[in-house]
Amino acid sequence: MILEQLKLFRLPSPPPEAKTRHLLIGGRIIDYRLKSGAKRLSMTIDERGLRIGAPHRIALGEIEAFVQGHADWVLKKLGELAHATQPRHLTIKDGARVPLLGTEAEVRVLPGANRVRWVADLLVLEARPEADLAQLAVRALQKRALGHFGQRLAHFTGQLDLELPKLALSSAHTRWGSCSTHGGIRVNWRLIHMPTHLGDYVVAHEVAHLLEMNHSARFWDVVGSLYPEWKAARTELKQRAASLPIL
């Protein structure tokens, strides 16, 4: 029994390593990792560096041309990471601390059947010996995010006497939220790591789109009526994005 519980604290086996290559961008040699078999051509940058996913059928020349077409963005993001002071990757284990709405949640890992629960700001993962603890933590954080942002959505739609739209979470890499007249409002679940006032700005922004499906002066007037400090929040959100934790 003790041996099985100890297994809970092991890190999951790493996936097969993507192949590392090099590319000259703006006079700099940039390392990147290429993983084949993706559904579409895409790239991400975090503290692990530049990573590219590509379908099997795409030639290497086309992949590197895609990267060169986004050279300014690549160099900017790599520069931001070079000045980051805190590691972004969080290892989920017993005693770990996860940013949560401007504070921190402590993680407690117990043997169980892969269930998650919250006790105030204590995140309890009841995990099987070979469970992916990061995946369980994401599930719990998304559950917390749906409840929290659902309350904030009700608050801001109530200020405008609007019917409460459907709320869903997103995992987008480049958008904090979106609004559709048919699909309702989507909020990036990773905002759960941010202070509450930044999540409020995003929700208010999307609620304003229920009246103005654009970014006109009238739209920003609505945003201002819901969240007067929206300019400062928008700037802060951009600054904090580079330090968003990765599970």
Please state, as a whole number, how many other Cβ atoms lie within 10 Å of the Cβ of residue 223.
23
Q: Which amino acid is at 149?
A: F
What pLDDT is attached to residue 109? 92
What pLDDT is attached to residue 6? 40
Sequence-ordered strand ranges (E) for 87-233: 97-100, 103-111, 115-119, 122-127, 167-170, 177-180, 184-188
What pLDDT is attached to residue 87? 54
What pLDDT is attached to residue 18? 58
Q: Find, among 167, 169, 173, 176, the residue nearest to 210 by Cα.
A: 167
What is this structure's pTM? 0.66
What pLDDT is attached to residue 14? 42
What pLDDT is attached to residue 147? 96
Stretches in the chain below the pLDDT threshold 70? 1-19, 47, 82-88
What pLDDT is attached to residue 29? 81
Q: Which CATH architecture has domain 140-243?
A: 2-Layer Sandwich (3.30)
Q: Note whether 226 and 156 are within 8 A (CB).
A: yes
What pLDDT is attached to residue 86? 54
What pLDDT is attached to residue 230? 94
Q: Domain map of the chain by residue range?
A: 19-82, 140-243
- The Cα-based distances of 172 to 41, 76, 111 in angstroms read 15, 19, 32
